[in-house]
Structure 1
């Protein structure tokens, strides 16, 4: 019995010693391989970068490491600021080196009809006549604003009696368009074939939950006008990163100039 215990202890010791020498050999081999090799900084992905991630946010997904210069591709990112204004063209997996080729201009990505929905948002579609859609200039990847005219409690401009008056104001800004297409109408004649109509644009946009609810509510009023007309109309504007909406204010028959 004692012989077996002693044998087990010896085997365990030999295993530990063997593992120690193996690890030391591997480390020494790495050191020998890098001896004389010119090292350079490289960014390595530590957390998967989702497609569409802005370059300005990449710092949360990578760490700065070093590697032999000969093993670093020519288009490797050396400064994270190189990615400002760009977005990830696809997923970048853990362990990959960060490369400039993995990022593109958002407009290029959008031109392929490939617009990523930001995290936490959802898509919703609505259609408006082309004259309310910047003449059809809106494209996938565009940023739009939505100006809504609705009825508010007010006073008649002539005699001051209480009434509902139309009021116009920006209700949405910097809305990301994920898809845009010409609307389709079904012919009311003998033919059952669908006809393409150039007077309607169907947009799909990405919105946060409550904003999606607000847009649907506005469209319900616009499309179902009747005795009670909560909305007179909705218009889209084409915006960009430099658009200034700080001057937005409700416009009605009293303050319209």
Structure 2
């Protein structure tokens, strides 16, 4: 009996020693990673953080862990702690496990549905053609480029919109150009039909077929541009941006340059 007790105790001691050795190795690995560099404490998502999570819930819910990283590799707005001023704000999109927590991820909840607007931005909705992207591709947190198809006021005046909507006809020239880029999507819903009196019916993702109403986070100038473009008529499309997407303003494409060099 004594031998069994001794064997069990020995196994427990060895397990504790092994666990301690692993912890020491991990810590030493972290130290080696920042050796010779200025280190900075940052917060990392320990698990998925849902959109609409406020600062208090982050502190109390075990969502985060602190770690040390070389300062030169960390974005300036990365957080080291969740201060009290974030209690009144919420995450504007889901934060994936292992992702750094940044100040720009928070906004103000503005309605009961949990819609959140990033600091300094406006929420502007517009009807967008959905034929160019798949179901569910555009959702809260997606960053997009917005393209506008319109009829210019006259031949050679591509910078002036006619104001009579998107005209069609054998001799009508239309233009598609980049309106703005690197725009954050706040929410996506099914577009209301003509005369419904609403911008959109509640939805969380595109369902394919027909138009969708997308709510964007815009600054004042961008909001003015989008509102004016919508009032003039024409069609809006969005393109999803990747980390290396290269999108720049240009003269766009018209009927005469669709298969050739853009004007």
TM bin, normalised by shorter chain, reads: 0.3 to 0.5
Q: Which has the larger radius of gyration?
A: 1
TM-score of the pair, normalised by structure 1: 0.47
TM-score of the pair, normalised by structure 2: 0.46
Q: When you count helix as a share of all residues, which structure comes out higher?
A: 1
Q: When you count strand as a share of all residues, which structure comes out higher?
A: 1
